[in-house]
Amino acid sequence: MRFEKSFRSDQEVILRFLDALGGGAAILSGSKKARPGFFIFAHTFIREFVEENFFKKEALLIRALVDNGFPPDDGPVGAMLAAQKKSRESGEHMLNAAKGWQAGDEDARVEVGWAASEYTSTMRQHLERLRNLIFPLLEQNISPEDEHRISEGLNTIAFENSMKGDADKYVKIIESLEDELREWR
Q: What is the mean pLDDT of residues 34-51?
A: 96
Identify which has the larger pLDDT, 139 or 30: 139
Whole-model pTM over 0.85: yes
pLDDT digits (tens, 9 = 90+) for 6-31: 789 899 999 999 999 999 999 998 88
Average pLDDT, the chain: 92
pLDDT of residue 29: 83
Task: Please report which confidence band the pLDDT of residue 66 belongs to, taking 50, 70 and 90 as the band edges.
Answer: very high
Residue 174 vs residues 27, 43, 109, 125, 152: alpha-carbon distances, Å:
17, 11, 21, 20, 28
Instruction: Give pLDDT, residue 167.
Output: 63
Residue 124 pLDDT > 70: yes
pLDDT at site 180: 95
